[in-house]
Homo-oligomer: A and B are copies of this chain.
Amino acid sequence: MVVIMRPDAGRQDIDGVIERIRGCGMDVHVSQGKERTIIGIIGDEREIDFDSIAALPGVDRAMPILRPYKYVSRHVHPENRTIRVDGVTIGRGLVFMAGPCSVEDEDTTLRIAEQVQAAGAQIFRGGAYKPRTSPWSFQGLREKGLEILSRVKARTGMPICTEIMDTADIDVVGRHTDIYQVGMRNMRNYSLLAALGKTRKPVLLKRGDSAKLEEWLAAADYIIRNGNENIILCERGIRTFEDYTRNTLDLNAVVGAKIESSLPVVVDPSHGTGRADLVCAMGRAAVAAGADGLLLEVHFDPNRAWSDGMQTITPQAMGKLLDDCRRIQDLLGR
């Protein structure tokens, strides 16, 4: 932490800050500037309370230097991490997860699964528990949806990725999924993250729509710190003033996440755009930026999808997209 004193701070203010920092068992460096005094902390600032320093008399600002995370950092784990799920490797080459937004009736779901598999998907995704803004919207098939997912796996062999919304559901969802998906609304549900950290199943952690990169990585640290290192980051767009698209897909954050951490990063261009006519272009862009894969909403009849039809593409469009992505990946020598 760097503590910047106000221009009018006196000797005793400065001494107060130094004393407080030393009281926490750390040491200081003091720089007497022309206009201001600056005090640097020597030690792991994550262990002292930022705010209590910032509130001391004579302090203008206190600026953190260390990031709010440790374990996910590339400094700690320099090589790219890979995760194996039922024979699929995430974090080396490209991985494609596809399926409908919501699990629908068994026949429809199986038909979609077969088509996305034929189009190149390695993992099947679909929501049984659906977090919806309005309590009046369809909330998912819940347990019945989970059973349909298990039948998809039995039929196709594809591992399953589905959303978990509550610590109370970890067991029941865990019986039917291979990857727990944490949706953007729960990225800061730290109780859920800690509980998932105690399982060993991979977690696909979507970025919150108002989460800074460092907060997203800190959320991943909640999982690792509890023992589970199998984390896949998923960028799915942030909320901005722009309303042409449902969200603003932030590919900068994909590149940043791969610089700052060694976790695999996939991109969800379906939610990241909210428009089927943008999904393929942004999927290609994500791979060109360095994403390790895509999460896609696909349905053979998007107009009949039970939710999110507006951002759903067909298996045919998906096949073409995957082909483009694989060729871009080859071309870039990755």
Please list the residues of chain A having a beta carbon within 8 angstroms of any beta carbon in chain B. Answer: 2, 4, 7-8, 20, 29-36, 38, 40-44, 46-47, 49, 51-52, 54-57, 63, 65-66, 68-70, 75, 131-138, 165-169, 185-186, 188-192, 208-210, 212-215, 218, 221-222, 225, 238-245, 248-253, 255-256, 259, 272-273, 276-278, 281-282, 284-290, 302-312, 324, 327-328, 331-332
Given contacts A51-B311, A65-B38, A189-B185, A256 and B241 within 8 Å (CB-CB):
no
How distant is A4 from chain B, measured CB to nearest CB, in Å? 5
How far is A248 from B307 in the complex, measured between Cα atoms in Å?
Answer: 28
Count of identical protomers in the assembly: 4
Write out the residue numbers on chain B whose beta carbons fall within 8 Å of the beta carbon of A308. Answer: 51
**Residue in B56, B238, B303 whose CB lies within 8 Å of A56:** B303
New contact pairs (4) apart from A52-B307, A238-B242, A245-B252, CB-CB < 8 Å = A29-B38, A34-B42, A35-B66, A49-B138
Write out the residue numbers on chain B whose beta carbons fall within 8 Å of the beta carbon of A284. Answer: 288-289, 332
Given contacts A42-B34, A51-B308, A255-B282, A241 and B244 within 8 Å (CB-CB):
no
**Residue in B34, B191, B307, B327 whose CB lies within 8 Å of A168:** B191
How distant is A182 from chain B, measured CB to nearest CB, in Å? 11
How far is A238 from B47 in the complex, measured between Cα atoms in Å?
Answer: 27
Write out the residue numbers on chain B whose beta carbons fall within 8 Å of the beta carbon of A190. Answer: 131-132, 135, 165, 185
CB pair A38–B2 under 8 Å, yes or no, is: yes
CB pair A41–B33 under 8 Å, yes or no, is: yes
CB pair A47–B222 under 8 Å, yes or no, is: no
CB pair A248–B245 under 8 Å, yes or no, is: no
How distant is A234 from chain B, measured CB to nearest CB, in Å? 16
CB pair B55–A310 under 8 Å, yes or no, is: yes
Q: Select from chain B the residue with minimum beta-carbon distance to A327.
A: B331
How far is A304 from B137 in the complex, measured between Cα atoms in Å?
Answer: 40
Given contacts A63-B63, A284-B289, A68 and B134 within 8 Å (CB-CB):
yes
Of A70, A168, A244, most B-chain CB atoms within 10 Å: A244
